[in-house]
Amino acid sequence: MMQSVPIHQRNDMIVRNRTGINNLHNLQESLRRSLLGTQRRRLVFFTAVIFILVAILIISLATTLTRKTKPNDFTTTTITSTTSTSKISISSLFF
């Protein structure tokens, strides 16, 4: 007579677990190979990422410095000088 054995006591569970672990390792390995590839590809990828980040940093610094030193188109400077005989008012528009 065949007895019903609970799943956690079956002998084939070890094989199933090993198969699952092997499948997981195979998946990780294939993902690693497809995403990063060889050492040379990995080096080129990280170099490109660093280059792009440095370029963005330089561009943002350049725009920040340009904004601080260049006056706006709508800036009006008024110089008033008072002498004993007349009052002089000069208004200029910077371009």
- Rounded CA gap, 39 and 37, in Å? 7
pLDDT tens, residue by residue, 16-42: 556 666 777 888 787 777 666 677 777
Q: Taking the model in full, what pTM does it have?
A: 0.36
Would you say residue 1 lies in a domain?
A: no
Length of the chain: 95
- Residue 94: per-residue pLDDT: 47
Q: Which domain holds residue 17?
A: 7-93
> What's the Rg (C-alpha) of the chain?
37
Would you say residue 11 lies in a domain?
A: yes
Residue 73 backbone phi and psi in degrees, to 5: -70, -25
pLDDT tens, residue by residue, 41-77: 778 889 999 999 999 999 999 988 887 665 555 555 6
Q: How many structural domains does the chain have?
A: 1
Pairing mode, strands 87-93 and 76-82 = antiparallel
